[in-house]
Amino acid sequence: MIHQPKEIKLNQIAEAISDKFKGKDQLTIYCGSNAASPTSSLEALTDAVKLYSPKLPFLKMVHILMQGPIPYTEPGLQDRIMTYSIFSGSQVRKAANEGRAFYVPCTLANIDSLIGKDREYEPDVVIFKVRQHEHTGEFSLGLSVEAMHTAIECADLVIAELDQSMPFTQGQSIIDNTAIDYLVIDERIKPVYEIPAPDFDNLSPEEKRIGELIANHFIKDGVTLQVGIGKIPDAVVATIRDSNYKDLGIQTELYGDGLMILQKMDIVTNRRKKANTGYSTTSLIMGSKELYDYVHLRTGVQMRPCGYTNSEETVRKNAPFISINTAMGVDFYGNVWADFVDARYYYSGVGGQPDFIRALNDPAYGVPIIALKSITYKGESKIVRTHPKGVSLTASSYDGVVIVNEFGIADLRGLTAGEKALAVASIAHPGFRDEYLKSIIDDPYFTKPRDCQVGKPHRNVVYYEGNVKLMNG
């Protein structure tokens, strides 16, 4: 007889966990993430924890970025249910900075090393969303594959929340019904999360400049792209959209509306990719309803685990490869940080940024770009003399990255330490630039070319020469 998951309601989830693990004093639960966060199931489980009905072991909740309410992060629950977050949004960020949640630093390519068999966070339970195919009956992980296959394989109890609002995606999002123990079917299940589509007509002048610099200097016909979601990636997509590039490919950790637009316009064809020729590959999808309708049953967009999309081998196979990410800041030495503002203020996570940077440490394979505005909303420079003490780095001085902001490009690949400092300082905001350059030139610690001086072009620096005017620059 073919195995079928047992159907339960939301209020039966805690009982199913309690019955399975009688006598255990601690459980690790891995949760689906991002747009496919199983909010309703997690709310039902948290309600049971609060009521001690049933009495559950201490629960360790492990996941990457979650959307929507995360009820178990509220104060007073951490002695019964605790967050272990690999990448965080505002709720987990607040809890972590108040000592009520743990941040687990790990790149997306390496999540399997955390949650695999006999590893520190090997899950006992997995909770996630699925979409069922109307005709074949197959189940799809939909918008969030990331490390779900490893979690499902290792867990003793697999709970899937059935959500027909989620698109049925192709590729390695398919899971066998024999892998699911309980299928949660309940009219109270909250739908997947939608993110507004990019507003290409209202990008800031700084964002437009950055997009123009990247597209004009690094995008070529046939390159494979990895870009994140945000204003700066949107600006790059907008410039590509309005240009005449052909046969681009996509291999990314996160596929959003911008990449969909390029694929709809046949600017992205994936025909020149060496690995996964003919289709875009991603481990996560997040964006608008239009995006979700587009990827539903579409073979041209295929899901893969993040251990594959972010692997050095796959990235290098798809050379020439352009990776575009952002960061909190960069220092004179070429160090980049993204998960902390400073050592006392955790922000998000390293994500997949280091995966792509290290895969592209040989220029033969492509370009790892860090794109960021020159100053914060408070007017503080994002280019600083040294990185904040105690923060982790997503790129170190020995990683050859290319820094792009609204004032220009500093290609740090192959430069000496002194040349890196000059290049980075050369594209600082004008309110800081000359002071930075003079301090480097006057400091004997930095070994520099003999003829370097303020106002003179420095090696591997390209200044913005377009027509987009800054409001205050």
Which residue out of 122, 146, 253, 419 is catalytically annotated?
253
The C-alpha angle with vertex 195 and arms to 192 and 201, in degrees rounded to 5, equals 155
Residue 59 near residue 29, CB atoms below 8 Å: yes
In whole angstroms, give the CA distance from residue 408 to residue 465.
9
How far apart are the C-alpha atoms of 235 and 201, rounded to whole Å? 10
Q: Taking the CB of residue 242, how many other CB atoms lie within 10 A of it?
A: 12
- In the chain, DSSP finds a helix count (H) and a strand count (E) of 14, 27
For the beta carbon of residue 468, count every other beta carbon within 10 angstroms: 16
Alpha-carbon gap, residue 330 to 333, rounded angstroms: 8
Q: Are strands 321-325 and 366-371 parallel, antiparallel or unpaired?
A: parallel
Separation of alpha carbons 87 and 347, rounded Å:
9
Classify the C-alpha dihedral 112-118-121-122 as positive or negative: positive
Write the CA distances from 223 to 146, 367, 438, integer angstroms.
24, 10, 38
Displacement of CA 253 from its chain's centroid (Å): 6
320 DSSP 8-state letter: S
Tokens representing 448?
A: 């520099």
Burial class (CB in 10 A: 0-12, 13-18, 19+), 364: exposed
Instruction: Return the percent helix, strand and coil in the chain, to nearest 5.
Output: 30, 20, 50
With beta carbons less than 8 A apart as the criterion, state whether 29 and 127 touch: yes
Distances (CA, A) of 115 to 31, 119, 182, 290: 12, 6, 21, 33
- Is residue 429 within 8 A of residue 381, CB to CB? The reply is yes
Residue 473 to residue 471: CA distance in whole angstroms: 6
CB atoms within 10 A of CB 452: 17
Whether the link from the prior residue into 430 is cis, omega within 30° of 0, is no
Would residue 74 show up in a list of annotated catalytic residues for this protein?
no
Structure tokens at 242: 């309005």
Residue type, 258: G
What is the SS3 assignment for 371-383?
ECCCECCCCCECE
Point out the residues that are catalytic. 253
